[in-house]
Structure 1
Amino acid sequence: MSSNSEQIRARVPHAVTRPDRIPAARYYDPEFYELEKQYLWPRVWQMACRLDEIQRPGDYVLYENLDQSIIVMRVDDTTIKAFHNHCRHRGVQLVTRSGHSSGGFICPFHGWRWNRGGENTFVFTPEGYAPDNLCADELNLVPVRCEVWAHCAFINLDMDAPPLRASLGHFAERMELWNPEELRVEWWKAARIPCNWKLAMEAFQEGYHVAMTHPQLLPPGVTNRAGDAFYGRIPEEYVTRQLWTTMGPAMKMDFNAREFAEMNIHFMKELNRGMAGMTHMQEIEVAETLVDMDLPSNPMEAGAVWNRAVNDAVMKHYEKMGANPPDLNALDAMGLASGVNFAFPHFFLLPTYGSASSYRIRPLGPEECLFELWSLTRYPAGEERPRPDEPKPVPSSDPSWPPIPAQDYANLPRQQKGLHAGFEFMRLAAEFEGLISNYQRLIDGYLAELPKEALLAAVQHVSGPIDVPVRDLGF
């Protein structure tokens, strides 16, 4: 056993000691939750806001997680900074919601002031203080690490943390091929879910659940593994991003090209229902123009021809708008056509064609979390988009939720309750539920305060596609 592994076992309650078994108490034990609060969240890169929220100099976002309150401010056209949200006098919060301030911040208690860059500009009655109690460098707002990737601002409370891009690892390498910096917010929603934040994460870290939880996404007769074709890994038996090209028992031998095209379009519409960015309506409308195209009589060959044609048509559609879409056929060839992609510890991107969905999860307590969803797409070059309003969270059981998240949300409260019913540990399939194990063991590394170089190497391997096997993290 390595020294890092020994350190984890000595310091972390309910540590993962067998990679394919996750102790249930990690999802409800208040002590474990407090350790995450103290040793995990202050040391990781968190997606604090999309730049859509801070378009103009003076726009700021209030990002809160657990007991931390952070202001993310657009200082000018090229500069974004983050600060702890407190007055340097007696600790009053400077803001209570996101907003705009052209002049900076004024404390509502005694009127102390700071400019947009966080520099103190005014102290009321300074002569009343001892000179060494008003040191200029101590009066500026306390900075927080803030770096930008893919039109998102990330923060880290650890000023000595490794750079953001290095920490994103394989996730960034994959996602940058999609030109995600061009995506803009179409809508933004939020749910309060009565489950531990890690359970909410894990519902989207494997495609194994698709056949049972999302049956509308599968044609009759297709097995559970078909879920992998959308949710991450794309095995050789799936030749396109569309599940409808799978050779299953339900595939008709008397092939009809138009029916084949219509089945693919039906699948696109199922992904779109209430989700928009998961497959955008403008992309569906492009595909519908191809419904009468000639296709080979072999379904596998037809799938490849159809997919290339849709890719080409979608790319041309976005290029006419002045956008810079990804090379979808090149991504297909690399096996990166679509799927769910995870950035440790709480962020997802789900690109399909030229659009995407995105998720962010934050803890609200040991057995409650906030789950946010974005629909992202591309717009004509130069088109100004309004600043998106922060959504008011609604219950996960609310009937307004689209089918796909509603189906996932329905499982989570039942799972949270089931973990208390004499349940000892989760049993994982090491081949395709490995991401759950990998990120849980990485959490243990943070709770045990392992060296930063060991954690960085592990983060780089954990962040990326889902449906991966259990991996050796080095501890």
Structure 2
Amino acid sequence: MTQIGTRAADSTAGPLAITDRAFIPRERYYDKAFFQLENEALWPHVWQMACRMEEIPKVGDYVEYSVANYSILVVRTGEDEIKAYQNACRHRATQLALGCGTFRGGQIVCPFHGWRWNLDGTPSGLYGKAGFDPHAVDPEDLKLIECQVGTWAGCVFINMDRDAPSLEEAMQPLPKHLDPLKVADMRVYWWKAIRLKANWKLAIEAFMESWHLMATHPQVVQGAGETFPADYLSAQNSYENGHASLAHDPDHEAHADLGADGKAEAEKALAFMRVVAEGLQAMVLDKDIAVIEGLRNIECAPEEFSARMIEALYSWNSGAGIKLPDPDPETLANWGSQWFIFPNFMIHPMYGNAISYRVRPDSDDPEHCYFEVWSLTLYPEGEKRGKPVFDGVHPTGSEEWPLIPRQDFGNIERQQRGLHTPGYKAQRLARQYEDGIANLHVHLDSYLAR
């Protein structure tokens, strides 16, 4: 673990570079020149989550991943092999495929002139080849342009820069914390998206701290019957490679003592979990509620309830054929934690479930982004599941979104508009609660300075 210092490193990224981690210049969220610099210096050179592995289960399956002005085809080329190609025909740049699907017959075919490639990117048929000068149709030069590919946490990551450090190096130190939670074995419970009138960084930053709960999601803390201290979730770490995490501070006790027995603890846990399950439909699911319902009349001391609840969760999941993580304290301490994966991806695991976010610029406008949300869970081992179903793009106030995301989305768009207030100059960050946001910007500057 590397804890980053309080001051930003020297940077030559320009007048908007971070020089004090307490302040983020507002222009970084809407300035078009800065946005264009990101598009040129960040996205073609950084590892980014392109799709979930379950989206391409069979050989020939593909997904188009687009970010800023770039389009990448992620293709399953073998039982244990995935490749990614820049999505442009080697003839006249026509995009070879859009959306998702399957390349039938193991052939990638350009819709314009019918040029073909094998799944491994080698040319297999060049209609009209005789009309070209020989040096213009060199088979080596006509191979599809490959990206680096890596897999982690059940996802396919790509990097357009073939000389960039490996995915394993770029993800450090996150795997040692998240892999034991079995995030790689989780599958999609639901998946939907929204187009927000906000910069991509502003959108992801809304989920990089938790002290907004008291004002933004009062039903969560009130449902638990507690006064929620701002520093309850202040165990924040900023890491190398721009990543960050947020976890419960063990030195703080946010739960009030509502009684002297396990029954009171069960009622308190139920109140909290019902609000989260109904308002998020992720992290806590109905199956978890059913387990806690069964503990309502438990006879135990309050301090014993947590262990009894974990025991009951493991027992229920085992009976259902679901293998939860090894129940060692260090692993389970990360249930409820939040993990930001630079530059635009997040995972929040709990009870064998998780919620995950990905945010991307989706136009030439720095004040718009495409925001996806996945609810993930562990299913019974050996259960066959098809490709995940995308539930669509829904507007900010749509009841297709649970209450908690609706509350967050409204704040994000209001924040983007507020940035243009004439007297407002910079985002003001709390070192204790929001340093992960500063860390994102400092690491972003390392790309922009190259």
Shorter-chain TM-score above 0.5? yes
Q: Report if aligned partners of 1:12, 1:444 keep a CA contact under 8 Å in 2.
A: no
| 1:289 aligned onto 2:303 | no
SS at structure 1 position matched to 2:355? strand
Larger mean CA deviation between 104-113 and 221-230 belongs to 221-230
For residues 165-203 of structure 1, the C-alpha deviation after alignment (integer angstroms, 9 at most, x for no partner) is 221112222111101111011110101111111111111
Deviation, 1:208, is: 1.5
Q: Which has the higher helix share?
A: 1
Deviation, 1:424, is: 0.4
SS at structure 1 position matched to 2:173? helix
Q: Which amino acid aligns with 1:114?
A: W
The within-5 A match list for 1:256-405 is 257-296=262-301, 302-303=302-303, 305-331=304-330, 335-364=333-362, 365-405=365-405
Change (3 A) 1:153 1:440: same
| 1:145 aligned onto 2:148 | yes
Which residue of the partner structure matches residue 113 of structure 2? 110
Q: Report if aligned partners of 1:359, 1:371 keep a CA contact under 8 Å in 2.
A: yes
Q: Report if aligned partners of 1:59, 1:74 keep a CA contact under 8 Å in 2.
A: yes
Change (3 A) 1:199 1:14: same
The within-5 A match list for 1:445-456 is 445-449=446-450
The within-5 A match list for 1:182-221 is 182-218=185-221, 219-221=225-227
| 1:169 aligned onto 2:175 | no
Which residue of the partner structure matches residue 77 of structure 2? 75
Deviation, 1:102, is: 2.9
Q: Report if aligned partners of 1:44, 1:157 keep a CA contact under 8 Å in 2.
A: yes
Which residue of the partner structure matches residue 465 of structure 1? none
Identity of aligned residues (%): 37
- Structure 2 residues not aligned, in runs of 5+: 1-7, 237-244
Which residue of the partner structure matches residue 126 of structure 1? 129
**2: CA distance, partners of 1:328 / 1:314:** 11
For residues 342-364 of structure 1, the C-alpha deviation after alignment (integer angstroms, 9 at most, x for no partner) is 11001111100111111111113
Correspondent of 2:229 among 223, 227, 232:
223
Q: Which amino acid aligns with 1:340?
A: Q
Deviation, 1:91, is: 0.9
**2: CA distance, partners of 1:397 / 1:42:** 33
Change (3 A) 1:229 1:23: closer
For residues 320-359 of structure 1, the C-alpha deviation after alignment (integer angstroms, 9 at most, x for no partner) is 34433113452367x4232211110011111001111111
Larger mean CA deviation between 376-385 and 394-403 belongs to 394-403
Change (3 A) 1:260 1:5: closer
Which residue of the partner structure matches residue 425 of structure 1? 426
Q: Report if aligned partners of 2:208, 2:434 keep a CA contact under 8 Å in 1.
A: yes
Change (3 A) 1:329 1:229: farther
- Structure 1 residues not aligned, in runs of 5+: 297-301, 450-475
Q: Report if aligned partners of 1:75, 1:116 keep a CA contact under 8 Å in 2.
A: yes
Q: Report if aligned partners of 1:210, 1:227 keep a CA contact under 8 Å in 2.
A: no
| 1:232 aligned onto 2:246 | yes
SS at structure 1 position matched to 2:208? coil
Change (3 A) 1:431 1:228: closer
Change (3 A) 1:194 1:95: same
| TM-score (norm: length of structure 2) | 0.90
For residues 89-143 of structure 1, the C-alpha deviation after alignment (integer angstroms, 9 at most, x for no partner) is 1111111221112322111111111122222100113221111111011112111
For residues 25-74 of structure 1, the C-alpha deviation after alignment (integer angstroms, 9 at most, x for no partner) is 11111011011101111111110000110011111101000111000011
SS at structure 2 position matched to 1:414? helix
SS at structure 2 position matched to 1:143? coil
Q: Which amino acid aligns with 2:334?
A: L
Q: Which amino acid aligns with 1:344?
A: F
Q: Which amino acid aligns with 1:171?
A: L
Would you identify which runs of 4 or more consecutive aligned residues in structure 1 move more than 4 Å? 227-231
Q: Which amino acid aligns with 2:169?
A: A
Q: Report if aligned partners of 1:50, 1:152 keep a CA contact under 8 Å in 2.
A: yes
For residues 198-221 of structure 1, the C-alpha deviation after alignment (integer angstroms, 9 at most, x for no partner) is 111111111111111111111243
Q: Report if aligned partners of 1:196, 1:367 keep a CA contact under 8 Å in 2.
A: yes
Q: Which amino acid aligns with 2:374?
A: W
| 1:96 aligned onto 2:129 | no
Which residue of the partner structure matches residue 15 of structure 1? 17
Which residue of the partner structure matches residue 29 of structure 1? 31
Q: Which amino acid aligns with 1:443?
A: L
**2: CA distance, partners of 1:83 / 1:397:** 37
Q: Report if aligned partners of 2:116, 2:124 keep a CA contact under 8 Å in 1.
A: yes
**2: CA distance, partners of 1:35 / 1:326:** 42
Correspondent of 1:66 among 41, 65, 68:
68
Q: Report if aligned partners of 2:24, 2:428 keep a CA contact under 8 Å in 1.
A: yes
Q: Which amino acid aligns with 2:149?
A: C
SS at structure 2 position matched to 1:42? coil
Deviation, 1:157, is: 0.7
Q: Report if aligned partners of 1:92, 1:107 keep a CA contact under 8 Å in 2.
A: yes
Larger mean CA deviation between 423-432 and 324-333 belongs to 324-333
Q: Report if aligned partners of 1:229, 1:238 keep a CA contact under 8 Å in 2.
A: no
Equivalenced residue count is 428
Q: Which amino acid aligns with 2:335?
A: A
| TM-score (norm: length of structure 1) | 0.86
Q: Report if aligned partners of 2:281, 2:402 keep a CA contact under 8 Å in 1.
A: no
Q: Which amino acid aligns with 2:293?
A: E
Q: Which amino acid aligns with 1:433?
A: E
SS at structure 1 position matched to 2:54? helix
SS at structure 1 position matched to 2:360? strand
